[in-house]
Amino acid sequence: MKRIGYFGVLVFLTSQMAFADQVEPEQVERSLSLRANWMTLTRDLMMHPTWAAEGDAFHYKLSVKNGFQFFRDTVERGEPKLAFNHQDIAGALSQTSGEDIDALQLPFDRFRYADNGQSIHFYYAGQSWKCQLNDATCSAMTRQTRPKAFGVVRDLRVDAHNVPHDSPNGRYRAYVEKNNLVVETSAGEPVFKTSDGKSEHFYDPESIQWAPDGSSLVVMKVTPGDARLITRVMTAPEDQLQPRNIVQLYPKPGDAVDKDQPVLVQMAEKEAHVIDNELFGQPYQIDRVEWQEDSSSFTFRYTERGHQLVRLIDVNAETAEPQALVTERSDTFVNQWGTFFQPLHEGNKGAIWLSERDGWAHLYHYNGAGEVVNQITRGEWRVRSVVHVDEERQQIWFSASGMYPEQDPYFEHYYRVNFDGSGLTALTEGNANHQVSFSADMQYYISLRSRTDLPDIAELRRTKDGSLVRELARADISRLTAAGFKPPETFVAKGRDGETDIWGLIVKPQNFDPEKRYPVIENIYAGPHSSFVPKTFWPFGLHSGGDKVIGMQALADLGFIVVQIDGMGTGNRSKAFHDVAWQDLADSGFPDRILWHKAAADKYSWYDIEDGVGIYGASAGGQSTVAGLMFHPEFYTVGVGFAGCYDNRMDKISWNEQWMGYPVGEHYADSSVVEHAELLEGQLLIINGEQDSNVDPASTMQLVDALINADKDFDLLVVPGGGHSVGRSSGPIRYIQRRQFDFFLRHLGQRETPDWNRITSEKSD
């Protein structure tokens, strides 16, 4: 036998070890194609049931062989038929958009009929579309209103939609001319005109609203906010060689917003009254202007800068005097992402209002004097949405979660209750999440019942007693199961207070072996505006802020355990649970997440966190990913951050001021990972689309600059032309996902990844 020295043995063993731990290209390719291969394996899984504006007709999306189709039906008929000719629509949309569209993979989930059923409207590729059904032609619909950046600053580069607003009684029409309000008769004779309108204080034609009887109108006089413009360079446009500049109106935290001042014009007196703004003098936003049906007053919602004070203001149409029907205050934030209110028009009027003042989101009944008549719902559970308010019957239909202690507290159920709080009636049942759609007359509803481990069951029921009319669809996942799908495991552990349950999901590899140990990766999204761990069955597509189960499964199949957790600071639990995020987005629920991981490791021998946990996320999840590596480096050691808002001062005004408050202070810097670049440990891959219109791409480049200045190593992938969802639903998805997979395989899995440059060269040969 030939003798070799120590060095030769070391080289031999190292090469053998590298070979044994090498990932084969086929393994990665299977994960990259998992979603496409599994997407069409379900049958009869209903999505997005939609009722007609009147009558008993409805339509829905249904999984069929090789894809999806839309069907329509009625309560009485019970004979579903195709909602339109899918082949014709696919062909017309392909021709107009330039994209190759499959009739069984139409790129929209919902549509509505228009023009007496002769056309359909839907949203696709960032804009609204209209397709005529008789001649199968499709066209993008032109936006008619002036854009309002993040809802608070009008884009004055775009002309307002200044068409005459006719009064309901047909006597007058109103419009804006040279920044002033003009009212004339229907015959064009001048009746009233303001003279104080200027470019710096203009009357907004799109805000004109007539009283139902035509006796008055309300219009907003606007003091424009800061016109902050950011410029992005499209370095590789598809239609030309040279780069192109893209300019976007993009207000950021601390910027001045448009200040809307309501003005009441009384037609009998031909007088304009500027409404006293003592009750709404520091607006972040004034919205939801609505007249009483008897024209006696109009209401609007006032959100004060800082999101700690919200009022429902009622303005008397005769006296022009405002009063606060409702005043809502919070020491932290009033959650405008989970709000509901509805002015009442009968009796002594008033409003139905959603508040978290007792620690949970509940409904309150106010009278016309601004007094609380009664609290309608109460308990350690929260109202999630209000579907319908029936003033005649004094009843409310709503959804709620957390009412059943034995169930997942995020599962939604639907109920009916009387204004006085009596008669609480459940309309759904079973240990599952429910999605319900009601007919226009509230006589019927379609309920979709599912869990991550329970495929959807769609039922048509009667609202009066919840009785079953018929089962509409029952999902068949036998082919999906045969292909290897297994539902994720729900896991619950105590949070930082030792009492609160923290809920999450565990996704295992398809070839899972309980005798092995698997490194763990967390898919993080900790945005306070909602909760994010999936609760319904559908495992494909996108989830707000991160992958759904199949995206996690694809990564798990490479030899990982992949999890998703809703820590404190996220929504849909108690007010105290939510308040953890207040002025501290760097917290990201990490104390709860780390305890959750440790509890899972204590329970399962295969849950390996000894050498650190991987983490990835997009947008706010990107910020949390980097925060994990910086602020908890003893626990999180490898991260991939997509499109992160790494410094909340650089991101859009609306989301960040809601949770970080106003004015901008040192707490913004405290949560910034850019300001703490010197703390980075572990391995980091940053991925960003250069055309991100949601988070200013400069946020990413400022983090890169700070890391370079701190002499830190990291990987960076900038995708030319990529948007905010790069790596999720746009751009070269396969390439970006493969880079993410490779990064975790090398740095967390300690495995050698394929030589993709060689492989792609061989393929091209």
H or E segment to which residue 354 belongs: strand 351-355
Those residues with Cβ within 8 angstroms of residue 100's Cβ, 6 or more apart along the chain or in another chain: 94
501-507 and 112-114 strand pairing = unpaired
Domain residue ranges of the chain, discontinuous segments joined by +: 16-39+480-761, 145-328
Supply the pLDDT for residue 659.
98
- Tell me how far apart the alpha carbons of residues 33 and 447 are, in angstroms, rounded to a whole number: 32
Supply the pLDDT for residue 733.
86
Supply the pLDDT for residue 623.
98
Q: Using the 8-state DSSP alphabet, how is residue 667 labeled? A: H
Supply the pLDDT for residue 158.
97
Supply the pLDDT for residue 550.
94
Q: What is the DSSP string of 358-407?
A: TSS-EEEEE-TTS-EEEE---SSSEEEEEEEEETTTTEEEEEEES--TTS
Those residues with Cβ within 8 angstroms of residue 562's Cβ, 6 or more apart along the chain or in another chain: 506, 507, 520, 521, 522, 523, 552, 553, 555, 556
- Tell me how far apart the alpha carbons of residues 143 and 354 are, in angstroms, rounded to a whole number: 32
What CATH topology corresponds to 16-39+480-761?
Rossmann fold (3.40.50)
Supply the pLDDT for residue 561.
98
- Tell me how far apart the alpha carbons of residues 413 and 402 are, in angstroms, rounded to a whole number: 9
Q: Which of 322, 203, 179, 299 is nearest to 258 (CA)?
A: 203
- Residues in the chain predicted with pLDDT less than 50, given as ranges, are 1-20, 543-546, 727-730
Supply the pLDDT for residue 403.
97
Supply the pLDDT for residue 547.
65
| Structure confidence by residue, pLDDT tens digits, 409-436 | 999 999 999 999 999 999 999 999 999 9
229-234 and 244-249 strand pairing = antiparallel
Supply the pLDDT for residue 579.
98
Angle at 194 between CA 193 and CA 198, to 5 degrees: 130
| Structure confidence by residue, pLDDT tens digits, 148-177 | 999 999 999 999 999 999 999 999 999 999
Q: Locate the DSSP E strands across 75-156.
A: 81-82, 112-114, 119-124, 127-132, 137-140, 148-149, 153-154
- Tell me how far apart the alpha carbons of residues 135 and 551 are, in angstroms, rounded to a whole number: 39
Q: What is the DSSP string of 425-485?
A: EES--SSSEEEEEE-TTSSEEEEEEEETTEEEEEEEEETTT--EEEEEEE-B-HHHHHTT-
* Prediction pTM value: 0.95
Q: Using the 8-state DSSP alphabet, how is residue 654 labeled? A: H
- Tell me how far apart the alpha carbons of residues 173 and 178 are, in angstroms, rounded to a whole number: 16
Find out whether the peptide bond into 663 is cis, omega within 30 degrees of 0. yes
For residues 619 and 692, the answer to whether their CB atoms sit within 8 Å is no
CATH of domain 145-328: 2.140.10.30
H or E segment to which residue 418 belongs: strand 412-418
Supply the pLDDT for residue 9.
36
Q: Which of 352, 357, 354, 353 is nearest to 332 (CA)?
A: 357
Q: Where does 531-589 have alpha helices with state H?
A: 549-556, 575-579
